[in-house]
Amino acid sequence: MPYILQKRREPLDPIVNQLLDALEKINAGAGDYNYVITSLLLGYIEFHGTRYEHFNTVHGILDCVGKEFYRRFTAPYEDEAKERNGDVT
């Protein structure tokens, strides 16, 4: 879950913002974001070690990020589009 304590976010936010600025400067596409995310997750494996448990954790991270992103951003967007444009039925 992305809802970590504020004190844990403080050292990370400047780095995340710097990375976002760098991505914006190169007009990053999906492949660039994929590269960054994959690099971070490979760093997790490098730090924690090559074990099934850690690969499983990475899969869980990706799964939960996708589901939470859908829940928070995509589903409300789709609900608004349905109201604006009408349901498919």
Per residue in 14-53, pLDDT (tens digit) is 999 999 999 999 999 999 999 999 999 999 999 999 999 9
Average model confidence (pLDDT) across the chain: 97
Report the candidate in 85, 40, 33 with the shortest Cα–Cα distance to residue 61. 40
* Per-residue pLDDT band at 1 (split at 50, 70, 90): low
H helices within the chain, ranges in order? 6-9, 13-25, 30-48, 52-69, 75-85
Q: What is the mean pLDDT of residues 48-61?
A: 98
Whole-number Å distance between alpha carbons of 81 and 35: 31
pLDDT at res. 36:
98
Whole-number Å distance between alpha carbons of 73 and 75: 6
pLDDT at res. 68:
96
What are the distances in angstroms from CA 86 to CA 28, 77, 83? Answer: 33, 13, 5
Whole-number Å distance between alpha carbons of 45 and 24: 27
pLDDT at res. 48:
98
